[in-house]
Structure 1
Amino acid sequence: MGFTRQARDVGVAVAILALTALVVARIGGESGETIVGTARAADGDTLTLDGHRIRLVGIDTPEMTQVCKRDGADWHCGAAARSRLAELLRAGPLTCRTKGTDKYDRWLARCETADGDLGQRMVREGLAVAYGGYENEEQFARAERKGLWGSEFDMPQQWRRMNGRPQEVVHEAEAGMIGSVLEALGLN
């Protein structure tokens, strides 16, 4: 019985030291990486930068084949979202700050050009919905009936479900055990 208690005490001490090291590391540095370069749009919320697939965190856009209705006519809203992101990417060098990866091993990141945050622009222009961020921008787009909000559309998540497509989860970076511990402590 003494050995079990001693082993437990050692385990607790190791856990406390590891947690302390994690907290110090988190306070001492930024999470993720910063990548700068020229990117191309894969769809309305995913881009390729320096050989890495990056999913813009906090937004969700219609799928490339998704069709919405605007003024009674078909509007290829998924293709429109991709086209707008491609246009925004042509504004010059892009800076992305990664926040982990998603279940598809894409980096989750907030990205900006000299003209501002891409996710914020996409939601504010009504070509993306808020998905774990940018709720104020979505309220603006709704009020102004911009993009999707001036059309009849299925939310991207609902459209994927109805069309047998893989579901996206609200963007929380999968940073493994360390990320889970930091999240539980409110440090991530």
Structure 2
Amino acid sequence: MGLSRRARDIGVAVAILALTALVVARVSGEGGETIAGTARAADGDTLTLEGHRVRLVGIDTPEMTQVCKRDGADWRCGVAARSRLAELLRAGPVTCRTQGTDRYDRWLARCETAGGDLGERMVREGLAVAYGGYEDEERFARAERKGLWGSEFDMPQDWRRMNGRPQDVHEAEPGVLGGILDALGLT
């Protein structure tokens, strides 16, 4: 009796560990899904693809109501970022590789069209700032004074803070299991 109970306990423990590993892999974005199709721009760093809201990882763009100054005149930089993303999306089908979700339940992903990586293009053209990715492209845009870098602007996260807007979250949320693992010091 003692041996079978111990074997059962070990089996249950192994099953729990395997399930935990699968959940952790999903939360951390490993084995993310690939989705493709026609997309439309919601703003400069968020798109809708096959009914899913997708947040481009590694970049941050001005909010739709954010206004920058270029050559002393107001420039609706948030609208400009959205317009450029919309233009890039018209190039054809979009393919996104997901890396998890954010607190708004948007998929976090790197996306591309036949024209290349969308985040890379937005940062290189100066319509997005690097946020955990695309630092080389941002250096190029700064040096060339492209887009935002040729204007006076508040960093998008600073603008949101100053204007009472919630801060965007660019990484996958850990969820309940992640919180437990963090509390146990296992992450």
Band the TM-score falls in, shorter-chain normalisation: 0.7 to 0.9
Give me the whole-angstrom Cα distance separating, in 2, the residues matched to 1:15 and 1:162.
49
Q: Name the CA shift for 1:80/1:180 in 2 (closer, same or farther; >3 Å).
A: farther
**Could you list the per-position Cα deviations for residues 67-111 of structure 1 after superposition, in whole angstroms to 9, with x for gaps in the alignment?**
000011110000000000000000000000000000000000000
- Number of residue pairs matched by the alignment: 171
- Deviation at residue 40 of structure 1 after TM alignment: 0.2
Specify the code of the residue in structure 1 equivalent to 2:61: T
Q: Name the CA shift for 1:127/1:15 in 2 (closer, same or farther; >3 Å).
A: farther
Q: Name the CA shift for 1:21/1:107 in 2 (closer, same or farther; >3 Å).
A: closer
Partner of 1:81: 81
> Do 1:92 and 1:113's aligned partners in 2 also have CA atoms closer than 8 Å?
yes
Give me the whole-angstrom Cα distance separating, in 1, the residues matched to 2:36 and 2:179.
24
Partner of 2:96: 96
Q: Name the CA shift for 1:51/1:61 in 2 (closer, same or farther; >3 Å).
A: same
**Between 30-39 and 116-125, the greater mean CA deviation after superposition:** 30-39
- Deviation at residue 167 of structure 1 after TM alignment: 0.5
**Could you list the per-position Cα deviations for residues 112-165 of structure 1 after superposition, in whole angstroms to 9, with x for gaps in the alignment?**
001100000000100000111111111111111110000000000000001000
Partner of 2:161: 161
Partner of 1:116: 116
Gaps of 5+ in 1: 1-6
SS of aligned partner of 2:168: coil
- Deviation at residue 168 of structure 1 after TM alignment: 1.3
RMSD over aligned Cα, in angstroms?
Answer: 2.9
> Do 1:100 and 1:175's aligned partners in 2 also have CA atoms closer than 8 Å?
no
Give me the whole-angstrom Cα distance separating, in 1, the residues matched to 2:164 and 2:88.
30
Specify the code of the residue in structure 2 equivalent to 1:95: T
Specify the code of the residue in structure 2 equivalent to 1:58: G
Give me the whole-angstrom Cα distance separating, in 2, the residues matched to 1:54 and 1:159.
22
Give me the whole-angstrom Cα distance separating, in 2, the residues matched to 1:90 and 1:179.
40
Partner of 1:22: 21
- Deviation at residue 15 of structure 1 after TM alignment: 7.0
Q: Does 1:136 align with 2:136?
A: yes
Gaps of 5+ in 2: 1-5
**Could you list the per-position Cα deviations for residues 19-66 of structure 1 after superposition, in whole angstroms to 9, with x for gaps in the alignment?**
69838x96xxx5210001000000000000010000001100000010
Partner of 1:3: none
Q: Does 1:145 align with 2:149?
A: no
SS of aligned partner of 2:88: helix
Give me the whole-angstrom Cα distance separating, in 1, the residues matched to 2:178 and 2:19.
12
Q: Name the CA shift for 1:87/1:105 in 2 (closer, same or farther; >3 Å).
A: same
Specify the code of the residue in structure 2 equivalent to 1:22: A
